[in-house]
Structures are given as C-alpha cells and as structure tokens.
Chain A
Amino acid sequence: MSSQRLPTRAGELIDRSTSLSFTWNGRSFSGHEGDTIASALAAAGVEVFSRGMKYHRRRGILTADHWDPNLSVQVGDEPNVRAGSRRLVDGMQVSAQNAWPSLRWDLGTANQLVGRFLSAGFYYKTFMRPQFLWHNLYQRILRKFAPGGRVHWKTGTHGDYDKRYAHPDVLVAGGGPAGMAAALSAAEAGASVMLVEQEPELGGHLRWGGPDDLTVLADLREALYSTPGIEVLCDSIVTGRYDHNWVAVMQRSHPVVPERLIKARVGSLVVAPGLVERPYVFAGNDIPGVMLAGAVRRLINLWAVKPGSRAVVLSANAEGDAAVADLESAGVAVIAVLDARAGEDIVQVRGRGRVASVQTGDGRTLKADLLVTATGWSAPTSLLNMAGDRPVYDKVAARYFPQSLPDNVLATGGIEGDGSTAELAAHGRETGALAAQRALRLRHERRTQTARSVRPESTPPASVPDNRIPLRRSPHPECYRSTTHGLVDYSEDISSKDLIQAAGEGFDSIELMKRYTTVTMGPGQGKLETVNAAAVLAEVRALDLADIGTTVWRPPFSPVSLGALAGRIFEPVRRSALQDWHEANGATNLLAGQWVRPDHYGDPMAEATNVRENVGLIDVTPLGKLDLRGPDVANLLNLVYVNRWQKLEVGRVRYGAMVTEDGVVSDDGVTGRLADDHYLMTTTSSGAGAVWEMLEDWLQTYRPDWEVHVTPVTGGLTSINVAGPRSRDLLERLVEDVDLSADAFPYFSVRTGTVSGVQDCIIWRIGFTGELSYEIHVPSGYSLHVWESLVSSGSDLGVAPFGIEAQRILRLEKGHYIVGQDTDGLSKAPTAGLGGLVKLDKADTIGLPELRAAFERTDLPVLVGLQPDDPTIVPEEACQIVAAGSNEILGRVTSSRMSPTLERSICLAQVDPSLASAGTSVTVKLVDGRRITATVQEHHAHVDPEGARQRV
C-alpha cells in the first residue's frame, strides 16, 4: 500500500499539521484532522472496506459520503459507522464488519459459487420440509450470516444523551448555496432561523468546486455567521418532518453529549438537501475502483486523495466533465471519456479486488484501475414525502421533482431544479423570504390564538403570493442500466436480474418488488437504489418511469441511535413524605404503579399479628385523595357512585363504589363529609388520576351547572392508618381536641383535629384491616413529626409499622376485595357483591342502565370467600377453579394468603354462580398441577365477619 495523498489542494479540509493515529483491522494508520475514516484509509492506499452482504465480494469506495453503502464499519463499540462521513478521531479502533475470519480471507465468498441458486426470494422456495430443520438448522445458519456490526450488549451502557426543544420560525435543511441563501434572507426578513447541515462544514457541492465556487462559499459563510438570528448546526441531520411541522434534528459534534435530538416546532421548513448522485447498473459495478464522479471529486478536492492512476470516465453531465478535469489535475491518467449524452456507454468492468479493465459499449477493452460514472442524480425527497408530497418523475430531466407541498414546507436548490451557483442562491433567497413571511404570520396567529398571552401589538404580516422564479429543469439522458446486469442495491446485494425475475413472478409493483427482493431495505433505505430499481421495473413492464411510482420514504432520513432517541431516561417514582423514614427503618420496598412504598419491614406475618393484638401504623399516602367543595358535591357523588349520598351528614364517612358506563366496577373508596360544602373523597391508589379526570369530565361536559370544585390532594396529605385494638389508646395520647370515645366518635365517622400539635388533621374511623382503626390525613410537611410521635408515644402499646404485605393479609382475613385484583375488566357490580349497596332507583348514575341489566342476570360470576380443605396449602393467586373431573374452568382464586390469625390458608375467589353457595366444595388446580378441594364460605370475611372488632 502506498500513500495516495496529493499535494495541497485549494479547498482541502484536512489540517496537515495534525496527525491522528487509529487502527484498521488491528493495524496502525494515521490521518489528519478533517479526514473521514474512509479518506484517511484511502490516502494510505486501502482499497477494500467491506464485503457484500450475500456474496461477500470485496467492496471499495463508491460515493465517498454519508450514503456510501460500502463504507459501514465498526468503530470501537459502535456498529455501522459511516466511514464516508464520520470524521477521524485520534485513537479510533476501526474494523471491517462483514467478513469472517478477515476482510482479506472471507469464508462467505463461498456463497459466490452457489450464487446462481440464491436468486431473489430463493429461501421462500425451499427448506419447507422437514419442518423442524428450518428452525433448528437452516435458520440458525442464516442468522450467522446476518450483516452489520456488533453491538456490545453485554458491556454497553445507555450513556449520556440529551434533548433540546427549539422553536425557529424557519428551519433550513441543507447548507449548500441555496440553503445558505435561504437562511440569510429569512433572517433578514426578521425570522429566527436554524440552518442544519449534515456535513461538518457548510457549502454542499461548492466545497469541491473550482475557485469561483470557493469564493461564493466564503462570502456566504461570512454573511451567515455575521447575520444575527441564525443558528448554524453542522454535522447535524434533519431526520424527520412530522405533522404540524414537528421537525427532528440529530445533532452531532456537540461539546458535551455524543448526539443530541433537537425537536423543533418550525414555522416554515425549507428543504434544500441538494441531490444524491446515482450509481449506474452494469456488470461488475461493485468492483473496487468503480466510483461516482462526486466521489472522486470529493476525494481529490476535500481530502487530497488520489483515487486511482488510470481512469475511464462515463459522463452524462457537467459533473462528469468536472471530474475529468479534477482527475487530470490530480495526476490521474484519463485514458477515455465516454459521453453518455452522445450515446456512448460502458458494459462491463473486470478485475479481482480492483478494476483491471473496462469494456465499452463499442466493444473496446481498456486497461484501467478506475471507472468513474456520472449518470445523474436522485432527488432525496424524504422530507417532502413526510410532508405529504408525492414527487413526480420528469422524463426530460431524468429525475423526480416536488409536486405539491403544504404552505409550511418549501423546497429550494437542486431538489427544485438546476441552475448556476448564482441562480441557485437567488432561488434560495426568494424561498427564504417567502418562508419567513409565512412563518411570521403563523407566529402572529399563534399569539392571538392564546387567550391569556399578551396580544401582539403589530398587525399580522401580509400574506405574499409565491412569485418565485422557478429553477429550470435541464435535460439529462435517462441513464439507469447498461445492456448488462449489475447491482442495483449494494447493501442488499441485489442485481437487476433479481428484480426482473421478481417482476416475472408477479411482484411487478414497486412495493411488492421491494418486499420480495428486499431492494432498498438496507441501511441507506434506497437513497441510491430506489430510482434504479424503479427503472428496471419500468423496463420489464414497458412502462414510463413516471407510471411506476416509488416506495414511500419513511423517517428517519438517516439512521438515529437509540441512545439519542431515548435521551436522558426520565421515569420518576413518587415517594411519600415518610419514605425516608421507612427506608431508614428496615423497609423492603415495592414498586406499585408510580409509587415506591414499603412492602414489609422484615416479617409481614408478625406485622399483621401485631395489628390484631396491639397497634400498627401503615403509610397509605398513595391512596387517591380529592378535596371536593361546593353546594353540589352530594349530587356529584350520587352520580359517580352506585350508592346514595344525599343523606350523608357532616362528620360521617361512607363507602362508595364506582362503575363505568358499561357497568364494570372501576374504583372504590370512602368519602367523608367534613363540613356542609366540603368533602374528602378517597380512591384506589392506581385510580387516583383517572377518577379525578373523570369527575372533571362529568362536571365540565355533563353538568356544568353544578358548583363543585375538585382539588387533588393525594401528595399534599400524608395518610397514616393507625390500626389495632390499642389504636384508640395510642391516639388519645396525641389527639388534643377530638373526643375519641366510641360514642362520641363512632365507626364510619370523621373529625378534624390536632394530632401531636399539628392542626387540621382529618381523622376518620374506618377499618380496612378489620380492627378498630383510624386513618389520619396529615398535611405532608408535618407528617414525619406525627408519624414519629405515634411511634415514640406507643412503645409501651407495642406500636410497630406494617407494610403492604401485612395489610393485604389483614384485608383478606377481613374479606375486603381489591378492585382490579378480585375484580377484572368484565366484573359487574353483582360479582363484587355490591347488591346491597347499589341503588337502582336513582334518576342518574354512571352506568345505570348496565347496573339494572346486571342485576337481572343470573350467570355472572360471584366473588366468594374460599378455604382450602387442607389448611396448609395456599393456592397461588390466579389458580383456576375447575370441574372435578375435567379441565372446564369454573372460576379462579383472586387472592390468597396464609392467615396468621386463623393459621390456615384463606382465599377470595370468583366462581361460577352454580358454585357460589356456602358449603360448596370446589376443585382448585394448583400451579404444579395438583388438584385440591376447597370450600366456599358464607362470607367474604374469614375473620370476624360480624365486624365486632372494628366497632368497639
């Protein structure tokens, strides 16, 4: 390998005073700052960068830019890096991806021998039999051949990524002459502008142009950086345009994070991505040394790399002619220029590992190591497609053009038409001005739309018509395929022959063809390949390209790392004000929805027993709490709960259950009346948000005449349940102004009072655990004080905290069901045993007609208390209840625990109504397959069904 670095070039990007060292497949190399990985390697004489996916043929530089399908490499732990655009960094470890054991000796080349049998879709036509071999053998082999790099899933971490929101009036995608001019004029018109360029520097094709181009570029760049209101982002790609001009930009070269996702709400999007040069289809078009004109121009002018020594050029346009000049200036012998405009052609390239000879259309064979093609461009219309456009093919210009764009998306530059640098810039300027005008109108309109924002002082900018002078469309020969067959898709190894075969088999629409052959489905997503594929199809079907259509471009425009899309992962948890105390006191946590809370403090059975015998404390803050005020609260409660609420007196609480409009039990809890117009509602922990929104919905859209104010206070009030026979004794030591005696403060009532010096605590007497118990709702700022006072004042009473697990045991002993556990998405009120609660004669209740219908039915499952006959067996929750002699399902265990109080297993279960009467013996199938018998109980409650313990 000899150095291919040329003497200094006028527009070169490399800084020759620097030397960056890196490795390529383990060998040391060096390059300069400004080099891409590919240019540094090419300068060092490297010619083969990868292997083809299917046949593992050697691949070299084709386009020398971001879209080069042959330049995907592994860099350290990063797979599929585009060596054609990624700038070299000191210390990079670069390796080839698609070769084993090495890029030089790749065993996959064996596939070349059987290539003729691996035609399009071959795998659909074989391996059908025997069935098991497909999965056990063939598929495994296929998976071994998967292309692409290696992801370090074992050692990788998410890393640091970031996101940013932006609101530019105008966002310009593409920093070539048209894009730069558009950004300038938009800013001059008063718009805030973001200019996004995918390369590390502005200029587009001007960068590798002649002295005039370089002068224009310098002037434009100078103007851009000195005009206020323009943010220039280089090494950044606009990856998507979504509804309402929500635009995604992936920013690289950020000083802090490797990649940053910018989400921009854009007034006007100006699409100026230039054009993508298209490969030519002919035999041998994937042999290293076949390059596009743009590739050699970039290599020579940007990185001072000599692309070969003897070149043949096939030129259909000025770019090809310019390439000839560049090649000559770089000392490459141009031995033949074939003019496609005059009908000249090439038909085949031969060579092993490097072009050796070129066969021309007129039958000559020329010795050369470089074949350069300039056969035209494809318009990268992705962003326009995402904006709803369906670009149309123009036969004369031999490429696609935008058809109809929404007002807030404008196109300029090469994607719009052809012109001199001056003409492109002029079109850009007009487009920028128009984009700014529209964006400023929109900004004005948004301001006026916002009821509470300060009205804009000015009048809206006038709407201006689109008077831009369109760019012309220069004629260009339609050069897609020579008379021979070659690759259409380099990343997928698909030839024109494969496509023709597919069309013959009935896959003769572009979408079906794509799916059958996988053409355009590789990492480039068809940037280089789509039009050639469509052209081959047009050829087979003897249609015009215009009648073939193309596949639909989808985001992202260029692949985006998962890390950058995720950004910083922000998944907060909610903690009660007491959570630190719990953790300091031995709690083992449990994640329950958004909340983290103590599952237990070491021994849940002991915690439960302590509640039955002494007194326990549990933090039930996640319980949803809604403060309701206003004269119509009772009406609201009457509407949303299945029971009746008009007669609830001040100082009393009541249990209520809710159903949805289709009659399914959705939430429950107690609600207390604190004052005439003031109630506190509690909901399930998981239902807190939904119930709140539901109340607002009914109040706003159904009964706006009702005066009720709903305030969620779930986190504002810390809820502490003090439960156990000695709970009253404990509270009497701390509560100052409430008479706690049984007569003065009976079961199911509420008082407001001072607890341990903290005023306005709401105390209600209810009993989820089945014991005498009080739930205290304390303003959260003071709750730690109250909790600690309870703990310290009750040491002689045996006070101890208990967690969720003990509470679950206790409530199950008591037979209280849990919505969503003992009921499910189909459970109606009768199933939950709400027969006594529901009032069907109300004028209105959510789900009333369904409630009525449900109580007419006799086939609904019934929730029952259940006890296994063997008291030592605790059937796992969700075990099925089955017919004794068969697998017919007759119900399921919804809750189960070992009861410390009864020292036996206890359950709640949903059963078929035929099994619901007390004393019925049922069969439970355990997880391990054993079948046991269990007996239906008279009550849901296993302990104290009369409720004597809680009424003391």
Chain B
Amino acid sequence: MIVVPCPNCGPRNSSDLRNAGEVVARPDPATTSLTEWRSYLYLRENPAGWVTETWYCRSGCRRYFTIERNTSTNEIRESESS
C-alpha cells in the first residue's frame, strides 16, 4: 500500500485513491486525424522510470491531480505540471 500525497488531503493510502494512468495530451477532436487520435487512445510510453500520471482522490476530496511516480521503485515526487 503506497502513500500518495493529495494536494488537499495530504499523504493517504493509495486505496483511498484511483490511479488514472499516464498523462496523455488530448488532440483537438475537431482537427485531429484518426491516426493521431488513436495514438492518443492507445499508445503509451510505459517507461520503467519516472512517469507523470493522474490520480483521483476518490475517498477524500475527489480532486484529480498529477504526480510523478517512478514505476521501477514507486518513489513519488511532485509533478511540475500539477
């Protein structure tokens, strides 16, 4: 049970939150091509190392926020984009 720091609620057990995966930029649906759209849908970097990802504070304040997590060690640090 790792500890995930919610910007509102502070450090909490990860079971209180939901991991919503790697952050991927959404193309503008009005102008995107299908190929670009499907890269957004399906292709993931899936690195063994630092990844910027979204968490949802499901049992707490219900905020979505991003952090950086090292997928090899589970270390967590603040995300530059959050």
Binding site for B on A (CB under 8 A): 242-244, 246, 263, 265, 388, 446, 449-453, 661-662, 693, 696-697, 700-702, 843-845, 848-850, 853
Contact = CB atoms under 8 A, between A and B. Distances in A.
A644 to B, nearest CB: 15
A265 B16 CA distance: 15
B50 interface: no
Contacts of B2: 243-244, 246
A92 to B, nearest CB: 36
B47 interface: no
A701 B64 CA distance: 7
A451 B57 CA distance: 14
Interface in B7-35: 7-11, 13, 18, 20, 26, 28-30, 32, 34
Contact of B1 (A244, A446, A451, A850): A244
Contact of A449 (B10, B18, B20, B30): B10
B37 A850 contact: yes
B69 to A, nearest CB: 11
Interface string B30-57: 1010100100110000000000001010
B58 interface: yes
A849 B11 contact: no
Nearest to A701: B64
B34 A661 contact: no
B62 interface: yes
B21 to A, nearest CB: 11
B56 A451 contact: no
24 contacts: A242-B1, A244-B74, A246-B2, A263-B1, A446-B10, A446-B11, A449-B5, A449-B11, A450-B9, A451-B7, A452-B10, A693-B56, A697-B56, A700-B63, A700-B64, A701-B64, A843-B29, A843-B30, A844-B28, A845-B29, A848-B29, A848-B30, A849-B32, A849-B34
A853 B37 CA distance: 11
B29 A844 contact: yes
B6 to A, nearest CB: 9
Given A451-B7, A845-B29, A697 B64 contact: yes
A767 B66 CA distance: 43
Contacts of A848: 29-30
A451 B10 contact: yes
A243 B10 contact: no
B56 A849 contact: no
B8 A451 contact: yes
Contacts of A844: 28-30
Interface of B: 1-3, 5, 7-11, 13, 18, 20, 26, 28-30, 32, 34, 37, 40-41, 54, 56, 58, 62-64, 73-74
A693 B26 CA distance: 18
A701 B24 CA distance: 12
B3 to A, nearest CB: 5
A446 B3 CA distance: 11
Given A449-B10, A661-B41, A853 B34 contact: yes
A697 B3 CA distance: 22
A159 B12 CA distance: 31
A115 to B, nearest CB: 46
Contacts of B41: 661-662
B9 to A, nearest CB: 7
A446 B56 CA distance: 20
B44 to A, nearest CB: 14
A243 B74 contact: yes
Contacts, number: 61
A-B complex: 7 closest residue pairs judged by Cβ atoms: A450-B10, A848-B29, A849-B37, A246-B1, A700-B64, A243-B74, A244-B3
B29 to A, nearest CB: 4
A696 B62 contact: yes
A697 B62 CA distance: 9
A452 B54 CA distance: 21
Nearest to B58: A693
A702 B54 CA distance: 13
A449 B32 CA distance: 40
Contacts of A453: 10
Given A244-B3, A452-B10, 16 more contacts: A243-B74, A263-B1, A265-B13, A446-B10, A449-B5, A452-B8, A661-B40, A661-B41, A696-B56, A700-B63, A701-B64, A843-B29, A843-B30, A844-B30, A849-B29, A853-B34
A853 B35 CA distance: 11
A452 B9 contact: yes
Contacts of B74: 243-244
B51 to A, nearest CB: 16
Contacts of B7: 451
Contacts of A446: 10-11
Nearest to A388: B73
A406 to B, nearest CB: 10
Nearest to B12: A450
A843 B30 CA distance: 6
B55 to A, nearest CB: 11
B53 to A, nearest CB: 12
B7, B8, B29, B37: most-surrounded residue (chain A CB, <10 A): B29
Nearest to B78: A449
Contacts of B32: 849
Contacts of A702: 26
Contacts of A452: 8-10
Contacts of A449: 5, 10-11
B65 to A, nearest CB: 9
Contacts of A242: 1
A662 B42 CA distance: 9
Contacts of A263: 1
B70 to A, nearest CB: 11
Contacts of A701: 54, 64
A696 B58 CA distance: 11
Contacts of A244: 1-3, 74
A696 B62 CA distance: 8
A266 to B, nearest CB: 11
A662 B39 CA distance: 11
A452 B5 CA distance: 13
Contacts of B5: 449
A850 B26 CA distance: 14
Nearest to B41: A662
Nearest to A661: B41
Nearest to A851: B29
Contacts of A661: 40-41
B64 A696 contact: yes
B72 to A, nearest CB: 11
Nearest to B1: A246
Contacts of A853: 34
Nearest to B23: A701
A848 B30 CA distance: 8
Contacts of B56: 693, 696-697
A662 B74 CA distance: 30
Contacts of A696: 56, 62, 64
B8 to A, nearest CB: 6
Contacts of B34: 849, 853
Contacts of B20: 697
A661 B58 CA distance: 22
A450 B61 CA distance: 12
B14 to A, nearest CB: 9
Nearest to A689: B58
A148 to B, nearest CB: 31
Contacts of A693: 18, 56, 58
Given A700-B63, A849-B32, A450 B26 contact: no
Nearest to A698: B64
A446 B7 CA distance: 12
Nearest to A849: B37
A409 B55 CA distance: 28
A431 B30 CA distance: 62
Nearest to A846: B29
A890 B11 CA distance: 53
Nearest to A853: B34
Nearest to B56: A693
Contacts of A265: 3, 13
